[in-house]
């Protein structure tokens, strides 16, 4: 949750939606207006809510990455994304956990790299819109996020010094880097592997990192931040296309009668989504995602340790040298408005057990679900919200805005039909395949 000297952003948002939805909830208690084919006849208030959910705008700019929208950087980032030489054993790439054919995730409950992790691989669909990254929000930009899996001992297992050696070893990697950033930093005299390990000062990787001079550390940090910025440029292109729901909203906005873009069942699910089920409290806006954190009251996982979520992520975010306040950001000033979200952040007890709200576009392609992948299907997710098991949350306190929905079986079917209507086209080869060359090849004029 974002804390500041005024009322938190999330609280303001929830209060506003709650006030608006209270009227819709009361209306839902009365016989619903329906059309001759059984589809809902949406009220003016319902139409206002529906129109707020589409179309999807362009991704927001990231001034902290001067190459965020560079076609050349995106090309090199795509090359890196599919390259296994960025991993310690040479058998893992970013695509191993974020496969385009698996909803830019991996289809597994928990991500598996060098080891099995304790969290589900989040999808990369529409990741450019995210305000915070990771389930716990421990980074504030996509380029800062991109560095961490490369170095995670459970994921790709490489270190930033090891990456630099790999770029010196492989001419294609070096050529791709130097085409964007100029000469590759020297690796002379550097240990085979080294990186900061702030949680364990005695870790061998940290001890090796301590052997580097401040100038060497600065050069290596800048190098790995540039890799992250290239990866961000590519991942910003992973945006969902027009869905049946978007076409339905376009017809609604144009006052076209009886749009057939959504089935009757999906339209009934939409009415539930914005009304009695109150899904829109957290799944709001064109991404159906408030970009903040919530404790929905998940009980303790039977096989995993308790995960504190945002409560544990906040200190890591503020200590990250790659955040917007750090020396590797391309922001012209620490006081740039991009950093407004970092000011006044503080950890509260209410952050325990909070995890980032997932967007719902393409959600049918990205299971299993929840931060720990405990639910195999969306049916299980909806049943959880419908029943809310009478068990204490694993940690923290479930938010009061989440009561049991007590949905009827047919209502579950309607909601599933609506979620299915949020699918757009699959990614094409311009995103789903590694380019043959790390540098964009220009056709001779």
Residues 108-133: tens digit of each pLDDT: 999 999 999 999 999 999 999 999 99
pLDDT of the residue at 30? 45
Q: Cα–Cα distances in Å, from 388 out to 304, 355, 406?
A: 20, 17, 9
- Let me know if domain 71-239 sits in CATH 1.10.3660.10: no
> Counting Cβ atoms within 10 Å, is residue 287 exposed (0-12), middle (13-18) or buried (19+)?
buried
pLDDT of the residue at 442? 78
Tokens, residue 336: 């740039």
The H-assigned helical ranges of 82-237 are 94-97, 142-151, 160-169, 171-181, 204-210, 214-235
Summary count for the chain: helices (H), strands (E): 15, 2
pLDDT of the residue at 429? 86
Q: Which of 316, 154, 133 is nearest to 228 (CA)?
A: 133
pLDDT of the residue at 8? 44
β-partners of residue 309 are 354
pLDDT of the residue at 299? 97
Residue ranges of domains in the chain: 9-60+241-309+352-420, 71-239
pLDDT of the residue at 9? 47
Looking at domain 9-60+241-309+352-420, its CATH architecture is Orthogonal Bundle (1.10)
> Counting Cβ atoms within 10 Å, is residue 373 exposed (0-12), middle (13-18) or buried (19+)?
buried
pLDDT of the residue at 344? 85
Q: Tens-digit pLDDT profile for the chain (445 aa)?
A: 333 333 344 544 554 545 455 545 544 444 458 886 788 999 999 999 999 999 999 999 999 999 999 999 999 999 999 999 999 999 999 999 999 999 999 999 999 999 999 999 999 999 999 999 999 999 999 999 999 999 999 999 999 999 999 999 999 999 999 999 999 999 999 999 999 999 999 999 999 999 999 999 999 999 999 999 999 999 999 999 999 999 999 999 999 877 889 999 999 999 999 999 999 999 999 999 999 999 999 999 999 999 999 999 999 999 999 999 999 999 999 999 999 999 989 999 999 999 999 999 999 999 999 999 999 999 999 999 999 988 999 999 999 988 999 999 999 999 999 999 999 998 888 999 999 999 998 766 5
pLDDT of the residue at 10? 57
Residues 156-206: tens digit of each pLDDT: 999 999 999 999 999 999 999 999 999 999 999 999 999 999 999 999 999
pLDDT of the residue at 12? 47
Residues 208-233: tens digit of each pLDDT: 999 999 999 999 999 999 999 999 99
pLDDT of the residue at 3? 35
What does the radius of gyration of the chain's CA atoms come to, in whole angstroms? 23
pTM attached to this predicted model: 0.92
Q: Which of 425, 14, 433, 412 is nearest to 247 (CA)?
A: 425
Residues 230-255: tens digit of each pLDDT: 999 999 999 999 999 999 999 999 99
Q: Do 71-239 and 9-60+241-309+352-420 have the same topology in CATH?
A: yes
pLDDT of the residue at 368? 99
Measured over the CA atoms of residue 22, residue 25, residue 31 and residue 34, the dihedral's sign is: positive
């Amino acid at each position: 949750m974002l804390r500041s000297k005024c009322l938190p952003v999330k609280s303001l948002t929830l209060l506003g939606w709650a006030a608006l939805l209270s009227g819709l909830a009361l209306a839902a208690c009365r016989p619903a207006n329906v059309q001759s084919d059984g589809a809902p006849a949406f009220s003016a208030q319902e139409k206002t809510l529906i129109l707020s959910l589409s179309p999807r705008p362009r991704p927001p700019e990231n001034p902290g990455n001067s190459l965020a929208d560079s076609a050349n950087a995106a090309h090199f980032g795509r090359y890196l994304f599919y390259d296994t030489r960025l991993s310690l054993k040479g058998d893992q790439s970013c695509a191993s956990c974020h496969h385009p054919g698996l909803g830019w995730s991996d289809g597994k409950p928990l991500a598996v790299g060098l080891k099995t992790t304790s969290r589900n691989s989040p999808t990369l669909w529409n990741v450019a819109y995210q305000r915070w990254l990771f389930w716990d929000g421990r980074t504030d930009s996509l380029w800062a996020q991109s560095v961490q899996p490369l170095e995670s001992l459970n994921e790709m297992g490489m270190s930033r010094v090891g990456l630099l050696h790999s770029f010196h070893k492989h001419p294609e990697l070096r050529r791709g880097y130097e085409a964007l950033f100029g000469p590759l930093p020297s690796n002379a005299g550097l240990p085979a592997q080294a990186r900061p390990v702030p949680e364990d000062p005695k870790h061998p990787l940290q001890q090796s990192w301590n052997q580097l001079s401040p100038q060497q550390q600065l050069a290596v940090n800048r190098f790995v931040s540039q890799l992250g910025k290239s990866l961000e440029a590519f991942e910003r292109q992973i945006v969902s296309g027009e869905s049946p729901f978007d076409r339905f909203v376009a017809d609604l906005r144009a006052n076209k009668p009886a749009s057939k873009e959504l089935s009757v069942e999906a339209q009934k699910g939409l009415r539930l989504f914005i009304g009695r089920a109150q899904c829109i409290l957290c799944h709001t806006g064109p991404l159906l995602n408030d970009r903040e954190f919530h404790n929905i009251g998940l009980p303790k996982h039977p096989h995993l340790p308790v995960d504190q979520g945002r409560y544990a992520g906040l200190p890591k975010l503020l200590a990250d040298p790659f955040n917007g306040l750090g020396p590797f950001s391309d922001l012209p000033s620490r006081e740039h408005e991009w950093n407004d979200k970092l000011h006044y952040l503080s950890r509260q007890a209410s952050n325990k057990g909070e995890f980032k709200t997932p967007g719902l576009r393409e959600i049918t392609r990205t299971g299993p679900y929840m931060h720990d992948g405990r639910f195999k299907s969306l049916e299980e997710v909806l049943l959880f919200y419908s029943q809310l098991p009478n068990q204490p949350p694993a940690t923290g306190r479930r938010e009061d805005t989440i009561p049991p929905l007590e949905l009827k079986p047919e209502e579950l079917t309607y909601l599933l039909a609506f979620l299915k209507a949020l699918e757009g086209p699959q990614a094409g080869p311009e995103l789903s395949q590694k380019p043959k060359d790390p540098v964009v090849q220009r056709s001779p004029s």
